[in-house]
Structure 1
Amino acid sequence: MRRLVLAVCIVSLLAGCGTFMADSPPPSDERAVTVVEEANSTVAAVEAYRFDMEMHVVASDGEQSRTVRVDGDGAVNVSVKRMQATTRMQDQSIDSYVDGYKAYQGCQDPWGGYAVENVSRSDPWATATPLHRQLLLFERSNVYWRGNETLDGNRTVLVTASPSAETIESLIDRRQAGDMDLNRGSLENATARLWVNPNTNRPVQSELRIEISQRGATATATITVQYSEYGEPTAISIPPEVYDDPHELGCPGAS
């Protein structure tokens, strides 16, 4: 079951999936398409932002069940091509960094250190960051207008989507997936929601909910990401030890 929990965490972070069986969704609503297009246009000019993430995973296998809660936060500075993120799960905290076209993932104890991997140069650098990746998910899916909704006391516009496995797989992040064989799991359902400030066209929050099965076990995950401090001064410092003899083949014990 531990591998299923890890797999569903990876999938919910847009890292990949197995098969996905669903009826063809209806055509997109024009109002929803406009919201996504305007959000994409606005975000394309954003040079920096911060994000906060919460994830809840429930997995079961027969009489056994497990619940995992994950939270994290980070900052992105597109102008200097740097990103920092911290992810916390139970008693562990993992730091990761992107510096230009190199990504550094903190490794768990007892190994420590960082694994390094190249960031693709075939797409704009920003598409490797959480907000741009979520917008790509909506851009490549049929989207639907759900009207106005109050979020934390502020009026937003809500758009939903039901992304296909192919769409999620197109946004796969090999740094997250590592050597895990996700093809053994089947993504049975995926729904996404995006809240946008109608005055600024900036996303305020996104949510992705997925269900996955693997070898008789099932799991459901919901990941919510909030976006803030658009355009604010964002200095991202990377500790010198990140660059000290990083693991070239991934974190030890990760496979």
Structure 2
Amino acid sequence: MSSPDIVGILENTKELDRLRKEQEEVLVEINKMHKKLQASPEIVEKPGDISLAKLKNLYIQAKELSENEVTVSNILLTQLDLLLPYGPTGQQRRKLGVAEGNDQKRKRMKVDSDVIRLSPSMRNQIEAYASLKGEQVAARVTAESAEKDEWFVVKVIHFDRETKEVEVLDEEPGDDEEGSGQRTYKLPMSCILPFPKRNDPSNTQEFSTGKHVLAVYPGTTALYKATVVSTPRKVSFFVTNICIYL
């Protein structure tokens, strides 16, 4: 192992630490904005208010930092792979059997260690998504680059803590879908919006006139973007405030 190789690894390790610290700082700001909007939701209706734009920029920044973290992590893995010996030494061969025997244990521990490295707010978010198994959620099934967003009501069947992906089931695919069976998607957390709990009054959301929402097409699982024009006394379908994902 040469000195330049070690220096490169150390530099990328420092960069990884910096990215994680910046992510935590951005998440703190996001949480502050959430609390501000929850306490005074009417503030976004004031002329000149940029709260939603600021929140969107914070999410964009968090996404970029996360993507950069993945890039630096992959570079580090490549650097370490290049420095590993091509063949095991005698002592390494004697230990190989024990290492292989513990392979499954290490895989189980890896997920736990990944969660430990995350910030408290991100850990809470991961736990919240893990608890959605069996629940219905709103899911954007189109790519971010798509010209038109497509949202559906789907059922969560699995959450992968390692990849941070949510596997969902579209139980009632449309007539234009290929095949007639149910369809599954693996989506990032950013494409999933949990519904408010019907039996939990604390999660009840009120939508004032002019608010942008997702609403369900009657008799389907398709969702569409709409604007509230009046607030009925009783709501017969789920609705989610679009401000959650802007």
TM-score by length of 1: 0.24
Select the structure that is richer in helix: 2
Structure index of larger Rg: 2
TM-score by length of 2: 0.24
